[in-house]
Amino acid sequence: MSQALPSSSSPSSRSQPAAVPVIDRAARMPARKEIRSWLTPISQPQTLRAVALLLLDLALFVAAIAGVVLLPAWWMKLPVALAAGFVIGRLFIIGHDACHQSYTPHRRLNRWLGRIAFLPSLTPYSLWEVGHNVMHHGFTNLKGKDFVWQPLTPAEYAALTPARRLLERVYRSGWAPGLYYFIEMWWLRMLFPSKRYMPARRGLFVADGLLAVTAGVVWIATLVWAAQATGQSAWALVALGFAVPFAFWNAMIGFVIYVHHTHTEVRWHEDKAQWSASDPFVSTTVHLTFPLKIGGLLHHIMEHTAHHVDMSIPLYKLKQAQALLETALPGRIIVQRFSWRWYAQTARRCKLYDVASARWMDFSGRVSEPTTWGRVAS
């Protein structure tokens, strides 16, 4: 059964449709096209707002790096270096939006803004576009297609070499999401990837890779120059002004994509027909909620169901879109309240995935029970 969700007179809802249906969980899931039509009135990008956000985050990044250079003691520099890594994550989220062509209404402007926003994370724009937009969004949680935090089956894990099994254990320990992103995503698939990871060879891939490397070289060279100009150790300044922010950024993005698609209720598939029938645009991702408006500091990337339903929704409208979806589709969306207890529980339970039984398990083969801690009814 379904009923109409009446429009609100609040300013945030005046751009919404006059009525959006509330679809009971027992009813058939509407087609993705229909669900996206509910979101169309609130998904229009805004150029001035988008450019202002980018300029703000670029200013924050420059200020943080300047703080690393100018502050007198290492214990003052370190928190600012970590903050720089966090701002790299914010800039990356902006580049991610631009790569989806959702950041502004202008395709060419999105491409330029995206490349600029990706520079501090040393991300090649065109390679991210292929891996993320085409493979991850086109085939979310379909094994053999979507490679992002793809879990191994028990048989696949058993066939690994001892060294590769150890690496898999490290990746899924809960302590090393940054190592996973650095190796499996950035190093192997984005920075001049081999044919194994990127069979297509395009001049644009090479050009974007060179742009990313050039950004890194300029960043490090600037720090070396600043060290000489201020009488500091170049090694120490490069470590605090480059290595620490870059390491923090990798840990941040590795964590974000892990919690987006790893949960005891998130399903993976091998059969494309079964995957398609599972409404993957809704069922394969998690809306992780945080206290103290931390989600806003992350440009609302944690309102992730709305993003997978409609990639054209700009980041500054995801919160509104997510709220609409959770009202219209009660019980269909995984909403999880973040806590370190929940995260540790998930890392402990979600090691391998048995496709036949659709169950997560640990490395010993013990089947995981559904998460109850912090689970929010949508």
- What pLDDT was estimated at residue 14? 40
**Cβ count within 10 A of residue 114:** 24
User: What pTM was estimated for this model as a whole?
Assistant: 0.92
Query: Are 101 and 110 within 8 A, CB to CB?
Result: yes
- What pLDDT was estimated at residue 5? 54
Give, in order, the Cα–Cα distances in Å from 43 to each of 37, 307, 312, 367, 375.
10, 11, 7, 40, 28
Query: CA 145, CA 256: separation in Å to the nearest integer?
Result: 20
Query: Are 353 and 268 within 8 A, CB to CB?
Result: yes
- What pLDDT was estimated at residue 84? 98
Consecutive sets of 10 residues in the chain, 378 residues long: mean pLDDT of each?
Answer: 47 50 86 91 93 98 98 97 98 97 96 98 96 93 94 96 97 97 96 91 95 98 98 97 98 97 94 91 92 90 95 95 93 93 94 94 89 66
| CA atoms within 13 A of residue 100's CA, in its CB half-sphere | 24
